[in-house]
Amino acid sequence: WQQHRPGALRPKQPIKKPPKQQRRAASCFFLQKTEKKLTGQTVHNFGAVTQLTREQQVYALAACHAATDSQKLKFVLLEAIAATRKARALQATKEAAETEPRSAQQLAARQAQLKTLIHNTVGKPAYTKPATFATTKAGIFSVNADICVVHYENTPTDDLKCLTTIQKAADIKAAAADIMQVTEMKMQPTSAFATLKLKLTLAAAGTLGTGGHSLTESKGCTSNSQAAGAIGTVNAGFALHSVEAQDNANGAETIAIDHTGRTAGACLQPPAKGTDDGPIVETKAVAKAICELKNLQRTSMTSTYGETMKNLADDKDAQEIAEMLQTGEIKAETNGENKKQMVQNILGTSDKTIYDELIQPLERIKPAYKVSGTANSENLKTLGESDSYAAALAFCTSEAVRGVATSQSIAATTSDSTKPEDCKEKTDKNQCNNKPGCKYNEKDSKCEEDPAKTTTTPATTNTTGSNYGSAQPTYKDAYDACKGFARTDALKTWTYARHELTALKNSEIKAAFKKMC
């Protein structure tokens, strides 16, 4: 937690070293706060991908259902913008997903090891049962010696209260919160985890001889057949005086966690073999994990719903997509203001958000299709954000395809039926007069084109139940009304008109067609 930030003032007086347990607890506490600060990028980035995917689907459905080309162009542009942002967010998610779990695991492992070290710290001995004076053994210290067996057990720290009562906890939290600026930190060396390196001290009293009993403290024995007693009262005895874990002579190590450095000693250099795959997560591996987490990017890709129509004109992606939609290419030398104008040509300059201007109205449109006999009850926005998106898009696409095919067939049939050469093929008077667009010339005894008949309703047109009578507009009327306005789904427009404009006369409905086209 002892940190160094560029430009920070060094204290003039040396900092008094805190107790060993406090140093270890503070290191663990700092790693906890640092891990919390540096992780979460994967979840954040995936959330952005999910939202932008929904938006892209909503725009695709809206474009398919658009009533006009200008409206469709808006949704096509927005769909492309959402797709571009999603691709970038997806790349950031992939990078985070590959790095974050591995690095976070290193920090978590180090914390667990520090807790274990604190838990097993030697220094609270317990003598669990009386010592035993054994028979003389030869070969100890090159002579015969008396043996006293002592049963020793270390009392561990179970509650780890030191993690919640850390000195300068507020300073440690502040350092973790500012981890992006911290370039160095102190960390326990690997040698600190070697708890089996113990220092044992035995003390003897009096002249040792044969025979003896356990001391009353159970940590040694009397000698020379002395009765049991305390080590301080017997005439002859020896005992275990103390058990201590050897402290690291050099104290905590300083490790570099400057994620911007690329020198040989920088933290992002691969650690030496064995430093990140051994039983103890070593300091260099921890430093590398911290730096990798610091280098992860939280995607800046945001929802398009909150953008305003006006502000999107300044978006570089929007400018390039708008240029492609209107010119068929993206030119590097195109003036910035011209590119901005291209976006405004499509979206306009409204101060309203995309959501208010274009998304909310979609909640009033419910496509009329069925799945397994059940009619759809959801609006376009809900469909685009749900699992039903694929079925809704398939329905809309199939409807448009059928409309194009029918319109083309009608156009071809109508065109063919009025060709002069087709009329000439009819030599029979009745066949000629019954053919749309043809009239039999009695004087010249031949079949020829009749311009008056090419714009009338064919005899087969069904007018039953309609309000138009003989003035009912035909499919050809719909095609003629729309063909000059780059509409390809004239049939769809015609179907809409039959339902919504049934009170209009033939001339009025033609004008309505043109307006919709």
pLDDT digits (tens, 9 = 90+) for 283-324: 888 888 888 888 887 788 999 999 999 999 999 999 999 999
C-alpha to C-alpha distance for 273 and 287, rounded to whole angstroms:
15
The confidence band for 428, taking pLDDT boundaries of 50, 70 and 90, is confident
The confidence band for 258, taking pLDDT boundaries of 50, 70 and 90, is confident
* Angle CA 437–441–445, to nearest 5: 130
pLDDT in the model for residue 470:
38
Mean pLDDT of the 266-287 span: 68
Distances (CA, A) of 73 to 326, 384, 490: 10, 18, 18
Does residue 479 or residue 174 have the better pLDDT?
A: 174
- Among 34-48, 223-237, 285-299, the range with the most confident prediction by mean pLDDT is 34-48
Mean pLDDT of the 106-119 span: 84
- pTM of the predicted model over 0.85: no
Number of CB atoms found within 10 A of residue 290's CB: 25
DSSP structure class, residue 114:
H
Q: Which of 175-189, 273-287, 433-447 has the lowest mean pLDDT?
A: 273-287
C-alpha to C-alpha distance for 288 and 258, rounded to whole angstroms:
10
pLDDT in the model for residue 486:
41
| 95: Cα separation from own chain's centroid | 10
The confidence band for 238, taking pLDDT boundaries of 50, 70 and 90, is confident
Element (H, E) at 510: helix 506-516
C-alpha to C-alpha distance for 72 and 328, rounded to whole angstroms:
17
Angle 69-119/336-347 helices, nearest 10 degrees?
110
Q: Which of 183-192, 403-412, 452-461 has the lowest mean pLDDT?
A: 452-461
* Angle CA 247–253–258, to nearest 5: 165
**Torsion sign, CA atoms 172, 177, 181, 183:** positive
DSSP structure class, residue 156:
-
Residue 481 has pLDDT above 70, yes or no: no
Distances (CA, A) of 169 to 23, 30, 223, 251, 265: 12, 9, 52, 21, 30
Mean pLDDT of the 178-183 span: 82
E strands, 155-268, are 184-187, 198-205, 220-222, 237-245, 253-256
> Percent of the chain beyond pLDDT 90?
23
C-alpha to C-alpha distance for 339 and 318, rounded to whole angstroms:
9
pLDDT in tens, 342-386: 999 999 999 999 999 999 999 999 998 999 999 999 999 999 999
Single-letter residue type at 486: A
DSSP structure class, residue 12:
S
Q: What dihedral angle (degrees, nearest 10) is formed by the CA atoms of 413, 414, 415, 421?
A: 80
Residue 197 has pLDDT above 90, yes or no: no
Element (H, E) at 146: strand 143-149
pLDDT in the model for residue 188:
80
DSSP structure class, residue 226:
P
Does residue 412 or residue 199 have the better pLDDT?
A: 199
Single-letter residue type at 378: E
